[in-house]
Amino acid sequence: MGFARASRLMAQSGFCGFYLAVQTPGTLRAGEPFDVIPGRRGVSIPTLFAARLAKHLR
């Protein structure tokens, strides 16, 4: 990410990026449209991220 403290700053802020799954592999060209379709999840990404990194923030 270009700097040494990136992971710690992401853990402290809760801004951990985004996660996507590809349903149908293929190729996209610049400017070609695509759809991002939200899926079901039982727990939010920030909650999972915080739980997974809790031991590193002590």
pTM, two decimals, is: 0.34
Q: Which residues contact 38 (CB under 8 A, 6 or more apart)?
A: none
Query: What DSSP letter does each residue of 1-37 carry, written as one string?
Result: --STTHHHHHHHH---------SS-----TT------
pLDDT tens figures, 3-58: 777 777 777 776 766 666 777 899 999 999 988 887 777 777 778 777 777 766 66
What integer pLDDT is reported at residue 31 of this predicted model?
95
Q: Which residues contact 36 (CB under 8 A, 6 or more apart)?
A: 20
Structure tokens at 54: 């809790």
User: Domain residue spans in the chain?
Assistant: 1-18+42-58
